Structure 1
Amino acid sequence: MSEHASHNLPPTFKGLQFTSPTEPASVVDVPTPLPATGTVILRPLYSNIVPYAREIYCNGNPRAYNYPSPMIPGTSCICRIAAAAPDTPHLKAGMLVFMSGLLRPRDNISVPPSLQGMYMGATAESQALMKGEWRNGSWAELVKVPAENIHILNEQVLTKGLGYDIEDLGYISTLAVAYGGLSDVGVRPGETVLVAPATGNFGSAAVFVALAMGAAKVIAMGRSQEKLKAVLEGAGDRVVTVPLSGNVEDDAAALQAHGPIDVYFDISPPFAGSLPHIKAGIIALRPKGRMSIMGGARGDVGLPYLMIVFKGLTLQGTFMYSRQQADELIKLVETGLLRMGKRAGMRTAGKFRLDKWEEAIEHAYNAAGPGKTTYFVPNGE
C-alpha cells in the first residue's frame, strides 16, 4: 500500500492555478502532499472568494498584492480534515473545521502574517512562507496548511442545535476579521460603537460582531441607503443608521446626536479617495474613546491632532486577527450570541465549480454587499 493510500489520499488533486494576473487561470493536476509533522491536509467544502479577487488575480493586479507564481489562490474556508499528522492527535479525519489563511513564522511571532494563496506580506520572513512550503491555497480539492491554522467547529451544535447549513459557516471568515479589530480595542458590554463605513462585507460584519460583544448601540454609517437597510436586516433595534454626506462637520454632528461614542471601527477600502468620514468619526468619539483601524487606505489621512491629544483618544491598528481571537469568535457563534445565516441577513450569493472561475470571480465582485458570501465548491456539495 502506498503512503497516499494509507492516508486515504489520492496521488493527485485538482486546483485552480494562476500563472499571472494578466493570463487566464487553468484547472491543473497537482501532486498530493503527505501530512508531515505540524501539517494537516484538508478537503475544502466552501472556499471563500473575496469580492476584490478580480483586483488581485486578474486585470493586472491593480491592488498590487505580491504573491508567487504559479499559485493556487484561496485563503480561509470551511473544510473537512482529509489527513492529519501524527503530532496532531486531537485532529481526526472527517472533522468539520474552519481553516484560517493567516500564515505566521513559527520562530518569530512578531512578524505580521501573510495570507495563504493571496498576499506574501512585506517582510522577507513572511514572503519565505509562501515562496516555499505554503504557496498554494484553498481553491482546490485539497490544501495543506499548518496545524495551528485549524479551528475545530462543533458540527452538532451548529447544524443540529442552531440549524445552520454548512455553507452558512463560511461567513466566519469575514466575522473573524471584524472581531480582530473590535477585540483589540476592547469593546465592552453597554458601549456605543460606530462602524463607518458599514456597508461593505467587513464593515457590515463588524455591526453584528459588536452586538454579540455586548454593545448597547451600534451606529452604522454609509453612503448607500439600500445597503444600510440591508445591514439593518436581522440586526434588531440596537442598530441605527446614519447616511454619510461627505461633509465632516455635518457627519460629525449627525453622529454626536446619538450620544457619546465609545469605539469607532474603520475598515475603509483602498481607492476610497478622500476619507472625511474618518475625521468625522474621530470628532464624534468621547474623551478616552478608542478607534480601531483595519482598512486598506493607501494615502495619508488628515487627523484632528490636538483633539486626539486633549481627548486622550487611542488609535489602534490591527491586521486581521490572532488564533485566540478566531477561537473566541467561533465561541460567540456556537453559543448563539452571534447569529448567522438567513435569519441574521447573511446569505450565500453564489457557489461555483473551479472550472467556472471567471464567472465566479466576476459574480463575487458584482454580488458583494452586507452579509453576502460567494464560494468555490471544489469537492461539490
Structure 2
Amino acid sequence: MAFSPSRQNSNRVIFLQRAEGTENLRAKLQTRPIPKATPGSVIVRVLAASVRANTSRISRNPHRGHALPLPFGPGHTAICRVSGISSDVTSLKVDQLIFIDPYIQARDGDGFYISAVMEGSTPESLKLSRGDWRDGTYADYAKLPIENCHILYEHRLLGDEKHGGLGYTIEELTHLFSMLAPFGGLSDIDSKPGGILLIAPATGRSGSAVLLAAIIVFCHSLRLSTHKSRLFSITGDIAKDAETIRNASRGLADAFWDMSPATAGSSTHFKSCLDALKIGARVSLVGGALAEVNFSYLDIISPKHNLISNLTAVRSGIMAQDKTKEVVRVIDAPISDVWAIIAAFGSEKLWFPNVIQSSLEGFGIGSIRTLTFNNGHVVHERLEIADPETHTPSPT
C-alpha cells in the first residue's frame, strides 16, 4: 500500500474502532496533527506500508484470537523516510530511507507488541501496546521506537542496475517483512551451513521467503507442498512420505521448519518430517495451527518409537531486533563479487529477483539449478536434473 503526500502539517490516519452498539469493527479516515518526537522515538513519513493477507480477518473478527488495542491506528511494517528525530538519536538522519520492524519490545522487560497484529497478554505488554506505540503506519506520519527503524542502503537498493544498483521499487522493499519470521526461525534452531532443512508447507509468501533465508545461511532445503505439480508433494501416507523425504535428503535431515496455517492441524506432514530427522535435530514451529496438531508427545521424544531422538523444538515468534538488522545487512550489502546461489529441490520465483530469477518446477525432487550473479545479473547457469528414481542430480 503506497501513500501519496498529504498537505503540509496534516496527517491522514486510518483509525480502527468498534461500530457503536455492535461487536463489529470499522475503519475511518481522520486528519490529525503530525506527532512530535519524544526521547526514544522517531517520526517517520510513510512511503509504503505492508498489508498482510489476513489483515481483513484480523481487523473484522473480534473473536479471532488476536487481541488489538482498540481503538487505534493500524499499520504493519513499512518503508519510510525519517521526518523528525529526538535528542537521543545518534545514527538516524532526517530524510534517510528506513525499514520499519513491527516487533516492538519493552526496553526494560519482557513486554511485546506486534504492531497492528497482536498485543500481548501480560500487564507489561498491555502497557506497551496501549501507550506511545499504540498507533501503526497506516498514516502519512507515524511515531515509532528508535530500535524499530533500520537504515536502508538507498543508493544500492533503488539505484539503476546500469550503475550497480538493484533497481527495486519502494513497494517491493516492503516484502522485507517476509524474511523476518523465516530468518528468525532458522536462527532460533541454529541452522548450520551445509545442513539439510525440511520446509513445510513451502508455498505462499513465507514459504518462498524461507528458501531465501536458507540460502543466506547456506542450508540445503527440501520443500514440501500439497500441490502435486511442484516441489515435494505430500501424499498423506506418513511412512511413504517419510521414506521419500529421507531418500531426497540422502539420509536424515538436521532441522524442520514449519509454518502451518490455522487449518493444517490434521496434516500428516508433521509426523512424516519428524520421522525423517536425525538424533538431536531441531524443530522450529512458526505457524498458527489452531486445532490440535497431528503429532504427539511421543513423536517428539521418539519419532520412530525405537530410539531417543533428543529433538529440540522451538516456538519462534517475536523476531529479535539484532536478527532484523542482520536481514537488512544481507539484503542491502554493497556486494560486487560474483554470487553463486544453489537452489535445491525446487523453487518458485521469489520477490527478490536478483537472487533467483527462474523456477525448477517440473524437474523433480533433487534437481539443482546453479545461478551465478554479477551485479544482479545472471552470468552463468547450470542445471542438474535429478533421476526420478534415485533423486540424484546429473549435469545436463
TM-score (norm 2): 0.76
Taking the aligned partners of 1:293 and 1:306, their CA distance within structure 2 comes to: 16
Q: CA deviation at 1:311?
A: 2.0
Mark the runs of 5 or more structure 2 residues left unpaired by the alignment: 1-6, 160-164, 342-349, 358-396
Q: Which residue of 1 aligns with 2:151?
A: 152
Q: Which amino acid aligns with 1:341?
A: F
- Contact 2:265 2:292 (C-alpha < 8 Å) held by counterparts: no
Are residues 1:189 and 2:193 paired?
yes
Q: Which aligned pairs between 1:27-66 and structure 2 lie closer than 5 A?
A: 27-58=29-60, 60-66=61-67
Q: CA deviation at 1:275?
A: 3.0
Residue among 239, 243, 254 paired with 1:253: 243
Q: Which residue of 1 aligns with 2:289?
A: 297
- Contact 2:300 2:311 (C-alpha < 8 Å) held by counterparts: no
Taking the aligned partners of 1:146 and 1:276, their CA distance within structure 2 comes to: 42
Residue among 156, 174, 180 paired with 2:178: 174
Q: Which amino acid aligns with 2:240?
A: D
Taking the aligned partners of 2:211 and 2:113, their CA distance within structure 1 comes to: 26
Q: Which residue of 2 aligns with 1:202?
A: 206
Residue among 225, 233, 239 paired with 1:222: 225
- Contact 1:267 1:294 (C-alpha < 8 Å) held by counterparts: yes
Secondary structure, counterpart of 1:35 in structure 2: coil
Taking the aligned partners of 1:42 and 1:127, their CA distance within structure 2 comes to: 24
Q: CA deviation at 1:30?
A: 2.1
Residue among 323, 326, 330 paired with 2:324: 326
Are residues 1:284 and 2:287 paired?
no
Larger radius of gyration: 2
Q: Which residue of 1 aligns with 2:136?
A: 137
Are residues 1:163 and 2:164 paired?
no
Q: CA deviation at 1:193?
A: 1.0
Q: CA deviation at 1:167?
A: 2.1
Secondary structure, counterpart of 1:14 in structure 2: strand
Secondary structure, counterpart of 2:197 in structure 1: strand
Q: Which aligned pairs between 1:337-352 and structure 2 lie closer than 5 A?
A: 341-344=352-355
- Contact 1:55 1:62 (C-alpha < 8 Å) held by counterparts: no
Higher helix share: 1
Q: Which amino acid aligns with 1:88?
A: V
Taking the aligned partners of 1:66 and 1:340, their CA distance within structure 2 comes to: 30
Are residues 1:307 and 2:302 paired?
yes
Q: CA deviation at 1:198?
A: 0.8
Secondary structure, counterpart of 1:292 in structure 2: strand
Q: Which amino acid aligns with 2:190?
A: G
Secondary structure, counterpart of 1:114 in structure 2: strand
Secondary structure, counterpart of 1:56 in structure 2: helix
- Contact 1:55 1:61 (C-alpha < 8 Å) held by counterparts: no
- The alignment of Structure 1 onto Structure 2 pairs a total of residues equal to 321
Task: Tell me how large the CA RMSD over aligned residues is.
Answer: 2.2
Q: Which residue of 2 aligns with 1:103?
A: 104
Taking the aligned partners of 1:137 and 1:131, their CA distance within structure 2 comes to: 12
Taking the aligned partners of 1:62 and 1:342, their CA distance within structure 2 comes to: 38
Q: CA deviation at 1:306?
A: 4.2
Q: Which has the higher contact order (CA 8 A, sep 6+)?
A: 1
Taking the aligned partners of 2:63 and 2:233, their CA distance within structure 1 comes to: 29
Q: CA deviation at 1:305?
A: 4.0
Residue among 314, 317, 322 paired with 1:316: 314
Comparing 299-308 with 189-198, greater Cα deviation is found at 299-308
Q: CA deviation at 1:254?
A: 1.9
